[in-house]
Structure 1
Amino acid sequence: MSDRAIALIRHDVRLQYRYGIYAAYAVIVALYVTVLLLLGGALPPWVPALIIFTDPAAVGFFFLGALMMLEKAEGVRTALAASPVSAVDYLAGKMFTLVGLSLTSCLLLVPFIHQVANPALLLVTVALTAVQYVGIGVPIALRFRTVNGYLIGSAGFLTPLIAPGFLALLEPFPLWLAVIPAVSQLRLLLMATGVVSSTTAEVTIPMIVATLAAVGAVALAHHALRGELGK
């Protein structure tokens, strides 16, 4: 990782702290923990997986957009366009902080989940999901000018991406549905939290789809940022 990318990571951490993103996220995680503590036994077994699935999507999508709107208001990206900072450096800063935030949340929630069958699968899936939604969020955020505009307008982009994920709850599960990234991601989380059993193919195919979705989203974000930053 370049020195410029490390500097941007530090900048993102300071910006997120200054604008209360960490405080807001702590409240969200505390709410999740409260729900799992008080209602865990009465909730359907797939609820923890669903909470974990929607969490990195929200972090990667909404928090990214808010950060980019704040940077735009402060003229940060205009300054970056005239600097030696590359699209890779800029994207690395956003990925590192926001994916890290999603993984931290997942680790905090794990003790309150009644059964975690595969912690490694859980963390890998959360990381891939977060990467995908950060990547998708970049070109969408570039379309908006204000935080409020993004938070309202971007929901129209996010909903069709997440909604098909509920198909992962079907039993028996048609494996061909795993071609939909949201379905693969939630299905992997259901496996990781011990809600459903799986064969080798039922793990491998969703993992391949989730990985390809993350890689494609990063490529999309990089392309959009090269147009924005001019390099």
Structure 2
Amino acid sequence: MTGVEARVPGRGSRHGVLRAAIAMDVRLQRRYGFWHATAVVIALWIGVLRLVPDGLLGAAMPYLLMSDLQFFLFFIAGALFFEKGERTLFALLTSPLRFGHYLTAKLVTMSALALVTCAVVVAVDYGTGFNAPALLGGVVFMALLMVLAGFITAPLFPSISEWLLPSTLLLALVNAPIVDYSGLYPHLAFYLVPSQAPLLLLGAAFHQVELAGWQVAYAIGYPIMWIVLLCLLARRVFHRHVIAREGGR
């Protein structure tokens, strides 16, 4: 049995391993320069929003935050390739860390970083007056979907340069619901794309759309369903394309 699947006895021990995994992931993010990159992105978006007239700021925020959150697709892919290159993943295979702890740590730290990024941008440029629950839901759901998408697709490629081109196709799909949201071509088919749900929540957060009851249920339930499915797929991909390769070296 590999280290990432070894069970740690006792509930307190499991929680301790998870806390250690989160702490380790925070240190790795700092080491890999993700915090500096996030600071640059925050400064960039704050500067861009300064150019937007006040009357259009609410309409611009959902688009900007969607673009901002898509950076986490590249952050998680970069983290995985860094860890692979430094043989960090090989060390994890011989530790008591389970896959669930490893993935949860990634999801927690990345979504927390996303929340901080979006909170700073909104606070500086938009101020108060937004719908906090809708903003929280939109940011967290979008961040989790992006992190899981990167976690699943990055291990399929031997290098980040080979992953970049397919990632643009993924981003094209992620951005497809903007066509519906903007009113260019409204169609229910866009609701099949998971990113439609957080986009609606972000629109509601800044009072750009008024969601019907079924849309609220969709915006909450649909991304949760996808997050669960993607977590299961992430385990399969990790075992087949990471554990099998690292363990065989």
Please state which band the TM-score falls in when normalised by the shorter chain.
Answer: 0.7 to 0.9
Cα distance in 1, alignment partners of residues 70 and 149 from structure 2: 10
Bigger mean CA offset, 21-30 vs 173-182: 173-182
Of 175, 197, 204, which aligns to 1:162?
Answer: 175
Runs of 5+ consecutive residues of structure 1 not aligned to the other structure: none
Distance 2:43 2:18 in 1: 31
* CA drift at 1:62: 0.4
Secondary structure of the structure 1 residue equivalent to 2:156: coil
Higher Rg of the two aligned structures: 2
Q: Which residue does the alignment assign to 2:112?
A: 100
Say yes or no: does 1:206 pair with 2:241. Answer: no
Matches within 5 A, 1:145-156: 145-156=158-169
Tell whether the 8 Å contact from 1:65 to 1:137 is kept in structure 2 after alignment: yes
In the TM superposition, residue 171 of structure 1 has moved relative to its aligned partner by: 7.8
Mean Cα deviation higher: 209-218 or 155-164: 155-164
Q: State the partner residue of 1:109.
A: 121
Structure 2 alignment gaps of length 5 or more:
1-13
Residues 1:90 and 2:113 are matched in the alignment: no
TM-score normalised by structure 1 residue count: 0.87
How much is the aligned-residue C-alpha RMSD, in angstroms?
Answer: 2.5
Among 143, 148, 169, which residue is 1:130 paired with?
A: 143
Deviations 1:127-163 (A, max 9, x none): 1111111112112110223333334442233322333
User: What is the SS of the residue equivalent to 1:130?
Assistant: helix
Aligned partners of 1:131 and 1:218 also within 8 Å = no
Does the CA-based 8 Å contact 2:49-2:57 persist in structure 1? no
Mapping for residues 51-70 of structure 1, pairs under 5 Å: 51-59=64-72, 61-70=73-82
**Rounded Cα–Cα distance in structure 1 between residues aligned with 2:186 and 2:167:** 30
Equivalent residue number for residue 178 of structure 1 = 191
Evaluate the alpha carbon distance shift between residue 208 and residue 170 of structure 1 in structure 2; reply closer, same or farther with a 3 A threshold.
Answer: farther
Which residue of structure 2 lines up, in the alignment, with residue 47 of structure 1? 60
- Deviation digits for residues 85-110 of structure 1 (CA, Å, limit 9, x no counterpart): 21111101111111111111121122
How many pairs align? 230
Q: 1:146 to 1:28 in 2, by over 3 A?
A: same
Q: Distance in 2 between matches of 1:147 and 1:171?
A: 34
Return the letter of the residue paired with 1:197: E
Larger CA deviation: 181-190 vs 154-163: 154-163
Instruction: Decide whether the 8 Å contact of 1:106 with 1:123 is kept in 2.
Output: no
TM-score normalised according to structure 2 size: 0.82
* Contact 1:129–1:214 (CA under 8 A) maintained in structure 2: no
**Percent of aligned positions that are identical:** 27
Contact 1:65 1:151 in 2 (8 A): no
Does 2:31 match 1:18?
Answer: yes
Higher relative contact order (CA 8 A, sep 6+): 1
Distance 1:117 1:69, change over 3 A: same
For 1:5 and 1:229, how far apart are their aligned partners in 2?
Answer: 19
CA gap of 1:127–1:188, structure 2 versus 1, over 3 A, is: same
**Closer, same or farther: CA 134–30 of 1 in aligned 2, 3 Å:** same
Corresponding position: 1:187 with 2:200: yes
